[in-house]
């Protein structure tokens, strides 16, 4: 099975996957539309909801990422997977976690050792246990992106995405 991190939605390149809680689906969708990002799919789990949207704006020349901090009100949380940040350049995915409008932690899958945010080491125990960072890091197995997703989803108890 091909994991969803390699293409969240078939026939939609450059799709972002956003897990959310502490805010309504309507609030998130309206915020994405205000930033000219088209929501493509959504779902609701017991704790976290999910929205998939076009990474790029429908406005010509707007290639920036959505401003997720603006979409995350007090009491809200967002776990954002940028699955294909630049499909043409073959950059690897990235993850960002926002709480109360602030970037708490974020990193590129290309180098999970280089983390940013207010609590850059929040995921360090999960990344270390998955052998993605630390002295026992094993990044040559070919499944490090899937292991990274599993470490993140396990840490935050994100719902599993069943993709065909």
Instruction: Using the predicted structure, report yes or no on whether residue 11 has a pLDDT greater than 90.
Output: no
Rg (CA), the chain: 15
For residue 141, what pLDDT is reported?
Answer: 66
For residue 51, what pLDDT is reported?
Answer: 94
Instruction: Using the predicted structure, report yes or no on whether residue 1 has a pLDDT greater than 50.
Output: no
For residue 46, what pLDDT is reported?
Answer: 85
What average pLDDT is seen over the chain? 86
The pLDDT confidence band at residue 139, using thresholds 50, 70 and 90, is low
For residue 163, what pLDDT is reported?
Answer: 54
The CA-CA-CA angle for residues 80, 158, 49, to 5°, reads: 70
For residue 52, what pLDDT is reported?
Answer: 92
**What SS3 string covers the chain?**
CCCHHHCCECCECCEEEEEEECCCHHHHHHHHHHCCCCEEEEEECCCCEEEEEECCCCCCCCCCCCCHHHHCCCCCEEEEEECCCCHHHCCCCEEEEEECCEEEEEEECCCCCCCECCCCCCCHHHHHHCCCCCCCCCCCCCCHHHHHHHHHHHHHCCCCCCCC
pLDDT average, residue stretch 1-22: 75
Check the CA dihedral 128-52-35-90 and report its sign: positive
CB atoms within 10 A of CB 134: 13
What tokens does 53 get? Answer: 């949207």
Residues 34-90 have pLDDT tens digits of 999 999 989 888 899 999 998 888 776 666 789 999 999 999 999 999 987 665 455
């Amino acid at each position: 099975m091909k994991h969803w991190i390699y293409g969240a939605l078939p026939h939609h390149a450059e799709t972002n996957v956003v897990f959310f809680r502490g805010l309504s689906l309507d609030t998130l969708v309206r915020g994405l539309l205000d930033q000219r990002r088209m929501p493509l799919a959504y779902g609701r789990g017991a704790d976290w909801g999910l929205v998939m949207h076009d990474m790029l704006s429908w406005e010509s020349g707007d290639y920036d990422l959505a401003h997720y901090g603006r979409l995350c009100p007090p009491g809200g949380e967002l776990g954002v997977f940028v699955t294909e940040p630049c499909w043409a350049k073959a950059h690897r995915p990235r993850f960002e976690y926002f709480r109360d409008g602030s970037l708490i932690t974020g990193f590129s899958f290309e180098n999970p050792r280089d983390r940013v945010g207010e609590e850059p080491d929040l995921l360090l125990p999960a990344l270390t246990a998955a052998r993605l960072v630390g002295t026992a890091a094993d990044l040559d197995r070919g499944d490090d992106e899937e292991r990274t997703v599993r470490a993140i989803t396990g840490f935050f108890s994100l719902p599993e995405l069943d993709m065909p």
